[in-house]
Amino acid sequence: MHEISAEEQQQIAVCIGAFAPKRGSLVPILQRIQDEFAYLSGEAMRKVAAHLGITPGEVYSVATFYNQFRFHPPGKHAIKVCLGTACHVRGGEVILENFQRKLGIREGQTTEDKEFSIDRVACVGCCALAPVALLGDKVYGHMAPSKVEGLILGIHLEKERQEREKAKHESNNS
Amino acid sequence: MTKLLVDNKEIEIEPGTVLLEACLRNHIYIPNLCYLPGMPHPDASCRLCFVEIDGKVVPSCTVKVNGPMRVKTDTPAVRKLQQSALRLLLSVHEVDCANCPANKQCALQEIARFLRVGLKPKGLDRLLKEPSIVSDHPFIDFYPNRCVLCGRCVRLCRTKEGRPQMNFSARGFNTVISFYGANRESMPTCEECRSCLKACPVGALVLREPARE
Ligand code: SF4
Ligand code: SF4
Ligand code: FES
Ligand code: FES
């Protein structure tokens, strides 16, 4: 679980305080918090519930109805798989499934080491390349299961390389 | 009292009674899962309680009897809709009756028998949810693949509790019942209430075995 610092508590309170304590504020408040933190923590949802006089369960119920909300902090490498119409038709679902299996998490989740997260998105505007996945802001077209493997492997290798460099650098310095 | 003709049987009922209820009270069975007596606005979400009134097919839980009517519960159009609704429900259902606490007292089994639909209908993919057990309540386990999303539990909890302890979450095929935020302090009344457990027409809400606590 991600710990909420005192500073973040304060930030959440500020987000919430900007809205009137009425039911209609629920979605706008959640959007504000998500803008700020990129996800909705349990603590944030409890605070929103208290502000609006409803239960955390009701907040969760509304929040999970919308695709725009996440409930885990995004990973360092945020993977987004397009499931817009074109990508869906070209097997986007299979690509999503591949990422999920490879990383052992489901869409909307983040790996324990906080390296990866997976989300589904609707059309990202390059249907000709379907099926499409995004790694951060970078678009990868014509995705295939082998490319999923390749992408993840690439990131792992890059990380190892950086760690080696760092180790070398440190030993050079000492 | 108002008179109505249901399948050529004449019944008498107090005006304002819900048609489904009027039939059930007079031993005319109409399949139903989501109806709860006394709720001002029926969800009419299970789409099983269809009847034909003057050639129009309508869910009988949404009709109030306010004068004489002619109702048919057993026309081909009605049965076709009911069977389709049931087949779709079963296509997202993990049918494992032998290991289910609801076995033999399950509304789904009863309706399937009544409509002559096999519990494992052919021609439809089976879509199941993960995980198959959710334990976010202090002592109740939820089985998403047994839940028919009738909403009886949620609506009862809302009336009893005022501040509901259980809700629907997510949507579409992923919709589940959730006790998010539930803990022993926030819900001291669950112990005595247990309305949801009693209201579930299938085996989707189950008291957790003490061994698993
Ligand atoms: S809920 Fe009913 S139909 Fe489903 S497994 Fe249990 S007994 Fe069988
Ligand atoms: S848990 Fe039971 S009562 Fe609640 S919605 Fe599911 S089937 Fe209906
Ligand atoms: S549908 Fe995926 S990019 Fe348009
Ligand atoms: S009982 Fe009428 S639609 Fe469910």
Residue A83 shares a structural domain with residue A162: yes
Residue A56 shares a structural domain with residue A81: no
For the complex shown, is ipTM > 0.85?
yes
> Does the beta carbon of A152 sit less than 6 angstroms from any atom of ligand 3?
no
> Tell me: the pLDDT tens digits for A69-127?
999 999 999 999 999 999 999 999 999 999 999 999 999 999 999 999 999 999 999 99
Closest approach atom of ligand 1 to CA B109: 3
Distance A137 CA to ligand 3 centre (A): 15
User: With contacts defined as CB-CB under 8 Å, which chain A residues touch B183?
Assistant: none
CB contact under 8 A, B167 and A58: yes
> Tell me: the pLDDT tens digits for B41-71?
899 999 999 999 999 999 999 999 999 999 9
Q: How many residues does chain B have?
A: 213
Residue A84 shares a structural domain with residue A111: yes
Query: What pLDDT shows up at residue B213?
Result: 44
Residue A116 shares a structural domain with residue A87: yes
Residue A20 shares a structural domain with residue A59: yes
Query: What pLDDT shows up at residue B32?
Result: 98
Contact B70, B3 (CB under 8 A): no
Query: What pLDDT shows up at residue A4?
Result: 84
> Tell me: the pLDDT tens digits for B120-141?
988 899 999 989 999 999 999 9
> Tell me: the pLDDT tens digits for A16-49?
999 999 999 999 999 999 999 999 999 999 999 9
Residue A97 shares a structural domain with residue A136: yes
On whether residue A36 sits in a domain, the answer given is: yes
* Ligand 2: residue whose CA is nearest its atom 2: B200
Query: What pLDDT shows up at residue B121?
Result: 84
On whether residue A123 sits in a domain, the answer given is: yes
- Which among A46, A49, A61 is the nearest to B178, CB-wise? A61
Percent with pLDDT over 90 in chain B: 82
To the nearest 5 percent, what fractions of chain B are helix, strand and coil?
30, 15, 55
On whether residue A70 sits in a domain, the answer given is: no
* Nearest residue on chain B to A54, alpha-carbon basis: B163
The ligand that comes nearest to the alpha carbon of residue B146 is 1
Q: Would you call A158 exposed, middle or buried from its count of C-beta atoms within 10 A (0-12, 13-18, 19+)? A: exposed
User: With contacts defined as CB-CB under 8 Å, which chain B residues touch A54?
Assistant: 163
Contact B155, B36 (CB under 8 A): yes
Mean pLDDT lowest among A90-94, A127-131, B161-165:
B161-165
Closest-CA distance, A65 to chain B, in angstroms, reads: 4
Crossing angle, helix B107-115 and helix B76-91, to 10 degrees? 140
State which of A16, A36, A65 marks the end of a domain.
A65
How many CA atoms lie within 13 Å of B193's alpha carbon, on the beta-carbon side?
19
Contact B161, B189 (CB under 8 A): yes
Residue B212 has pLDDT above 50, yes or no: no
Model pTM?
Answer: 0.87
Task: Please give the residue range of the domain that contains residue A41.
Answer: 6-65
> Does the beta carbon of B204 sit less than 6 angstroms from any atom of ligand 2?
yes
Residue A134 shares a structural domain with residue A51: no
User: Would you call B5 helix, strand, or coil by DSSP?
Assistant: strand
Contact A143, A149 (CB under 8 A): no
On whether residue A31 sits in a domain, the answer given is: yes
The domain that contains A26 carries what CATH number? 1.10.10.1590
Residue A82 shares a structural domain with residue A165: yes
Model confidence at B165, in pLDDT bands (50, 70, 90)?
confident
Closest-CA distance, B33 to chain A, in angstroms, reads: 22
What is the set of domains in chain B, with CATH numbers? 1-122 (3.10.20.740), 140-207 (3.30.70.20)
The domain that contains A140 carries what CATH number? 3.40.30.10
Q: How many domains does chain A have?
A: 2
On whether residue A10 sits in a domain, the answer given is: yes
Residue A113 shares a structural domain with residue A136: yes
| Beta strand pairing call for B2-6 and B70-72 | parallel
Residue A117 shares a structural domain with residue A46: no
Query: What pLDDT shows up at residue B187?
Result: 64
Query: What pLDDT shows up at residue B53?
Result: 97
Phi and psi torsions of A78, nearest 5°: -90, 115
> Does the beta carbon of A29 sit less than 6 angstroms from any atom of ligand 3?
no
